[in-house]
């Protein structure tokens, strides 16, 4: 079965620092990749997604992620974080094919200090 690993459980940054959250998956076939975000007290929502094409995808609020197939990775980045980026971030993978269910990582809590 496929799995998704997010190695950083909690990241603490100061405002304006650059962010990179790691995500690795274990599956050799064609995958679709996602980052979801959960702001404090709010619902989980889609941040960005990769299906095909340009491996560098841009999402909302200045976030981007790069798919590196050879490394089975889909890391999330933002050049300069803000206090309002404090949230929990979840990487997710969906296999192409009949199952088409999302497998989530365990999440990374990002705390941005003002």
Contact footprint for other proteins (CB under 8 A): 4, 9, 32, 34, 41-46, 49, 90, 92, 94, 100-107
Nearest distance in Å: CB 15, other proteins:
26
- CB nearer other proteins, residue 75 or residue 108: 108
**Cβ 100 to other proteins shortest distance, Å:** 5
Residue tagged 């975000």 (tokens)? 37
Closer Cβ to other proteins, 17 or 104, answer by number: 104
DSSP string covering 36-86, please? EEE-TTS-EEEEEEE-SS-SEEE-GGG-EEEEEGGGTEEEEEESS--GGG-
C-alpha triplet 26, 96, 2: angle, nearest 5°: 20
Q: Compute the least distance from the CB of residue 71 to other proteins, in Å.
A: 20
């Amino acid at each position: 079965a496929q799995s998704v690993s997010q190695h950083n459980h909690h990241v603490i940054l100061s405002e304006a620092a650059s962010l990179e959250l790691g995500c690795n998956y274990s599956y050799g076939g064609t995958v679709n990749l996602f980052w979801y975000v959960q702001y404090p007290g709010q619902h989980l929502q889609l941040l960005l997604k990769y299906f095909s094409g340009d491996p560098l995808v841009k999402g909302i609020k200045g976030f981007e992620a790069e798919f590196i197939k050879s490394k089975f990775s889909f890391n999330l980045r933002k050049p300069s974080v803000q206090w309002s980026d404090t949230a929990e971030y979840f990487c997710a993978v969906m296999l192409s094919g009949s199952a088409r269910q999302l497998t989530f990582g365990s999440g990374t809590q990002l705390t941005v200090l003002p």
